[in-house]
């Protein structure tokens, strides 16, 4: 049964997607990754996207974050159609409002962990010392205070993932989208990281969207949207919520 989309005006939503489509074209090959997504993300909530690999989860959060352009439909973030902004305005919007935690980490090997965590602040023009200080403080929140001066090449995969999470949170974004944030973490560390991530959705105008296969963290969700073949097939609330 198709998921029911709650009605709410865009001004009261963090994200609003309507009939959202995304098609990838590679020569003569065409792949429809999103097939008419209808989805609202409400203020203060943790929404998890689950489903088989290749079903469109990462594509969906990439469109939400303004990293990918859609093919059709609509995607508003805080009432703003980010795709209609100029490249510089889009970068500025993401820098103020959106945090993205990549599954591949995308850390810069020439920088220390604290400097990597501070990258969004440096891009926004914050002085180096202040930015790195805030990066160090965010590393402490994810349990990496003792690793702040080390480059990513000297960290384990789980530690690199936590640096990437710190980088996604350091600029205090109102929308955080995460791609498998606990996949390289043990159970205790994963739950501690989820507690930190969830804290960003505590405010009335914030939200957290998490792509995950990790059933251990489902109880952190307010809603879980199940995807298959580019569509949302159902939305449920965990018994805890």
Strand pairing partners for 175? 98, 207
Per-residue pLDDT at 203: 76
DSSP letters for 56-69: SHHHHHHHHTTSS-
Largest CA distance in the chain: 53
Read off φ and ψ for residue 80, nearest 5 degrees: -105, 130
Q: Is 240 exposed, middle or buried (0-12, 13-18, 19+ CB in 10 A)?
A: exposed
Q: What end-to-end distance do the CA atoms of the chain give, in Å?
A: 22
Task: Assign 3-state DSSP to the chain and report helix, strand, coil percentages, each to 5.
Answer: 35, 25, 40
pLDDT band at 2 (very low <50, low <70, confident <90, very high): very low
User: 178: closest CA among 220, 125, 127, 232?
Assistant: 220
Least confident of 7-16, 47-56, 179-188: 7-16
Q: What is the pLDDT of residues 157-182, one digit of tens each?
A: 889 989 999 999 999 999 999 999 99
Q: How would you label 145-167 residue by residue, b for 16+ Cβ within 10 Å and e otherwise?
A: eebbeebbeebeebbbbbbbbbb
pLDDT band at 20 (very low <50, low <70, confident <90, very high): very high
Domains and their CATH numbers in the chain: 12-96+175-182+202-241 (3.40.50.300)
Tokens (6 digits) for 238: 């965990």
Q: Highest mean pLDDT range out of 6-20, 21-35, 82-96, 188-202?
A: 21-35
What does R_g of the chain's alpha carbons equal in angstroms?
A: 18
pLDDT band at 183 (very low <50, low <70, confident <90, very high): confident
Q: Which has the higher per-residue pLDDT, 5 or 185?
A: 185
pLDDT band at 241 (very low <50, low <70, confident <90, very high): very low
Q: What is the pLDDT of residues 224-234, one digit of tens each?
A: 999 999 999 99
In 81-214, the DSSP E strands lie at: 98-101, 175-179, 207-211
């Amino acid at each position: 049964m198709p998921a029911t989309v709650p009605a709410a005006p865009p001004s009261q939503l963090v994200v609003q997607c309507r009939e959202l489509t995304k098609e990838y074209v590679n020569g003569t090959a065409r792949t429809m990754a999103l097939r008419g997504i209808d989805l609202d993300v409400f203020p203060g909530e943790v929404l998890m996207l689950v489903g088989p690999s290749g079903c469109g989860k990462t594509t969906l959060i990439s469109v939400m974050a303004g990293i990918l352009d859609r093919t059709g439909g609509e995607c508003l973030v805080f009432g703003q159609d980010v795709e209609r902004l100029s490249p510089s305005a889009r970068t500025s919007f993401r820098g103020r409002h959106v945090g993205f935690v990549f599954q591949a980490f995308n850390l810069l090997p020439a920088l220390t962990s604290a400097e990597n965590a501070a990258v969004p602040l440096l891009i926004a023009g914050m002085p180096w010392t202040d930015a790195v200080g805030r990066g160090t403080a965010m590393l402490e929140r994810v349990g990496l205070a003792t690793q702040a001066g080390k480059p990513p090449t000297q960290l384990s995969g789980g530690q690199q993932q936590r640096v990437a999470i710190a980088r996604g949170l350091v600029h205090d974004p109102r929308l955080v989208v995460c791609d498998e944030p606990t996949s390289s973490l043990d159970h205790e560390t994963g739950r501690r990281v989820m507690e930190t991530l969830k804290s960003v959705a505590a405010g009335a105008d914030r939200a957290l969207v998490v792509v995950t296969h990790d059933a251990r963290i489902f109880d952190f969700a307010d809603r879980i949207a199940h995807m298959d073949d580019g569509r949302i097939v159902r939305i449920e609330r965990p018994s805890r919520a």
